[in-house]
Structure 1
Amino acid sequence: MSVSTPSRPVTVHAPPFPAEPRPKPRRPRFGPADREVLSLYVLTRIGIWITAGAVSWLFPADGKSRRAPSLLSPWQQWDWWHYLHIAQDGYFPDGAGPWTVGWDNREAFFPGFPLTLRAVHVVVPHWAAAGALTSFVAGGVAVLALARIARRQLRDLEGGRRAAVFFLLSPCAVFLAAGYTESLFLALALPAWLAAQRGNWPAAAALTCLACSVRVTGLFLAAALVLHFVLTVRDRSAWRSAPWLALPALTPVLYGWFLSARTGDWMAWKHAQERGWYRDFHAPWDAWSNTWEAAFHHTQPTGYALMSQAELLAILAGVVLLALLVRRRRLPEALYLALTLWALGTSYWYTSIPRSTLLWWPLWIALAGWSLRRPLVQAVYLYVVAPLGVVVAITFLTGRWAG
């Protein structure tokens, strides 16, 4: 009979603390490159406000005035009054509308910016200051998103900074500081495009939906998102996000429904643009011919003629950029630009195309990439093109038409 001997217990020495997995290194969400871009943004805002202050002193509305007007007064020009009246009184105050003699066609302007202006005015009681603050904050978001898109596309930190510089010193950069829609639209559209680049389709669609409430250009961005989705998504599971791409249509539909309930016309905004700004359809060659006549046939005052010349240059720049995007197979951006050019280039004559270049983010990225290969490009831009921004700023701030 065998007797089994008990085995000796094995002692296991455990570490004093449980081992923790090492965290994966994460890229900083807000790094030095972002801080540099925002520093450039703040510096250019200081410059444009110094210009506005000088204009208010040197070119007052009353040439014999002994007191300088408010620093905010030069910013209250042109479209600002439409946004202000909508924010203050709504679209159809006291039953007025397109049937009223002398109607201002305010329904041509989408509600996103006036609603934001009204919300900010709750905190900032001065309307012009509320508009300036809205554009200041939105412009900072926009330029930061632009730099990140450029860095991602060009794969170069310097490329992001240069895209921001070209954008902030563009000839029509004054409108980024004015109480206009450009800054707010870009603050929504550019993060939407950045989200699409990262494959976050719900965020991209939601931001584009908000951008559509600011400008009809948001629909062109929505079309570009759909094309980008089709061209880039390969995983079947990712197609579950496809229904999100219909979301941007919600705001134009709601606005059309609102207008229809009060005017009986779903497209009242489009018809208001036709009445007030000659944005009825014409063949592209007719629009070119009419703008050429205004620019060079001495049928308009010299100020308007010069701006018509700028419109012609801007449409040509857009066509060249479109060809470049197609050649480089950047088809979603090309679709966005093509729809924009078609909308702007088929009116009676060209209107506000130079200002619209602010919304062509592929332009600023293309210039940044070009300047990385050819350093002279940045020098030419800074010393030749950027000063035109001062001319346009003074033109706008003194109440003259600047696109």
Structure 2
Amino acid sequence: MPSLSATASLSSRPGLTPDEPLGSRARSACRSILGRLGPEDRDVLWLYLASRVSVWIVAYCARWVFPRDPETKNAAAILQPFQQWDWHHYLRIAREGYFPGAEVDDNRVAFFPGFPLVLRAVHVVVPDWTVAGLAISFVGGAIAVVALARIARRYLEEAGAGRRTVVLLLASPCAVFLAVGYTEALFLALALPAWLAAQRHAWVTASVLIALASAVRISGLFLAAALVVHHLCSGRAHNWRVLLWMTLPALPVALYFWYLYANTGDLMAWQHAQERGWHRSFHLPWEAWSQTWDAAFDGIYPAPYAFMFLAELVGMVMGLLLLAVLVRRRSWPEATYMALGLWALGTSYWYMSVPRASLAWWPLWIGLAALTLRRPRLLALYGCLVCPLSVVFALAFFTGHWAG
């Protein structure tokens, strides 16, 4: 895969220069990124809608086939499959805030405020909290797949590159998290348009979008670092005002940490909540691998948990292979993003959420698209491998057996 700085010049559209007025630059960038949908964009959106129907069918059937009580005569409520795991944290934060009147110790401060804030805002017009969360992910996912397809078309010259990239993402095992009230879809709806803006050298627009993404997930900071590397590798004259704008993504994180400190007196309250709730304390990479391996294969945990730890190991191997390919191809901005993300995931007590994190590895989906376009048989192999896993992962989530 060519480096971002090399491929950005392929576009016939001129990049924006830092000397333009800020208002004009922002309007031009928005028109460039969010302009009219072309035929390929509409094709991608139809594909996205069809994939959502597939996920909803799995969720509907899970209520009947895998009820919590095997003796029940009635299926669970229609929205019950979507009310699992981290959703309850986001819901409590949106309804009660981080510090409700009564003393609570549910580690909710481990979750960034971006998604709960959007959830609370959408709830103003969508009375049901779960439907509001699903609406956020539905719209966010639609924006994300259009942006991903456009990015892929800038990397790859083959016809159908954008559509193929989106197919691979939507068929991936953890794509279920784009259809539930989690942060993945919202994060991608901000991060991928930001990267598209960076490809067009719209640095200010990219910085603002990444700042919003950083309010949703800590990995927005990794994307910000990649943006700086891309700017430095772009071959253009470095403008200090632009580099100053690139510090903007750190502001939401700093404000959130300050808010936690003001309420708890603990500057590291976020990290300490991660440690209490999910054992995400710092460990050397080989220690994290060993402990995840033991959790997967030593019979310590019930089978569903062991299976998910196995998925974590596979996800980490895939991430490291992708990083090696990016380094070999000298795709330094993308390699920076991957390296920081893998370091964060790979230096805790054990691996957790690595497969989910792969949804934001856009170089992976673009690279797989390039391979399958040049070797069509690999697409059939990919489908045979991941489609069963996608159903299994979706059922694991919808029935409350997911972990990680």
Same fold (TM over 0.5): yes
Query: Is contact 1:224–1:332 with CA below 8 Å preserved after alignment?
Result: yes
Instruction: State the match for 1:234 in structure 2.
Output: 236
Instruction: State the match for 1:397 in structure 2.
Output: 398
2:190 partner letter? L
> In 2, Cα distance between the equivalents of 1:343 and 1:308?
17
Instruction: State the match for 1:91 in structure 2.
Output: 98
Query: Is contact 2:393–2:402 with CA below 8 Å preserved after alignment?
Result: no
Query: Is contact 1:286–1:348 with CA below 8 Å preserved after alignment?
Result: yes
Cα displacement (A) at 1:386: 2.0
Which 10-residue stretch deviates more, 81-90 or 293-302?
A: 293-302
Distance 1:402 1:276, change over 3 A: closer
Q: 2:205 aligns with which of 203, 206, 224?
A: 203
The runs of 5 or more residues in structure 1 that have no matched partner are 1-25, 98-102
Query: Is contact 2:226–2:336 with CA below 8 Å preserved after alignment?
Result: yes
Cα displacement (A) at 1:266: 2.2
Cα displacement (A) at 1:30: 1.4
Instruction: State the match for 2:265 in structure 1.
Output: 264
Q: Deviations over 1:151-195 (max 9, x none)?
A: 011133411111000000001111111110000000000000000
> In 2, Cα distance between the equivalents of 1:240 and 1:223?
16
Instruction: State the match for 2:368 in structure 1.
Output: 367
Instruction: State the match for 1:153 in structure 2.
Output: 155
Instruction: Verify: 1:191 aligned to 2:196, yes or no.
Output: no
> In 2, Cα distance between the equivalents of 1:309 and 1:80?
24
Instruction: State the match for 1:76 in structure 2.
Output: 83
Cα displacement (A) at 1:373: 1.5
2:280 partner letter? R
> In 1, Cα distance between the equivalents of 2:288 and 2:391?
28
Residue 160 of structure 2 aligns to a residue whose secondary structure is helix
Higher relative contact order, structure no. (Cα contacts within 8 Å, ≥ 6 residues apart): 2
Instruction: State the match for 1:253 in structure 2.
Output: 254
Residue 214 of structure 1 aligns to a residue whose secondary structure is coil
Cα displacement (A) at 1:147: 0.6
Q: Deviations over 1:322-363 (max 9, x none)?
A: 000111111111110111110000111111111111111111
> In 1, Cα distance between the equivalents of 2:258 and 2:237?
37
Residue 402 of structure 2 aligns to a residue whose secondary structure is coil
Matches within 5 A, 1:80-229: 80-94=87-101, 96=103, 103-229=105-231
> In 2, Cα distance between the equivalents of 1:154 and 1:235?
26
Q: TM (normalized to structure 2)? A: 0.90
Instruction: State the match for 2:18 in structure 1.
Output: none
Aligned residue pairs, count: 372
Larger radius of gyration: 1
Instruction: State the match for 1:8 in structure 2.
Output: none
> In 2, Cα distance between the equivalents of 1:65 and 1:301?
24
Residue 172 of structure 1 aligns to a residue whose secondary structure is helix
Q: Deviations over 1:139-158 (max 9, x none)?
A: 00011111110001113341
> In 2, Cα distance between the equivalents of 1:240 and 1:350?
38
Query: Is contact 1:392–1:402 with CA below 8 Å preserved after alignment?
Result: no
Residue 149 of structure 1 aligns to a residue whose secondary structure is helix
Instruction: State the match for 2:55 in structure 1.
Output: 48
Instruction: Verify: 1:352 aligned to 2:353, yes or no.
Output: yes
Q: Deviations over 1:21-73 (max 9, x none)?
A: xxxxx997311110111111000000000110000111122223232222211
1:174 partner letter? V
Cα displacement (A) at 1:402: 4.1
Cα displacement (A) at 1:80: 0.5
Cα displacement (A) at 1:212: 0.3
The runs of 5 or more residues in structure 2 that have no matched partner are 1-31
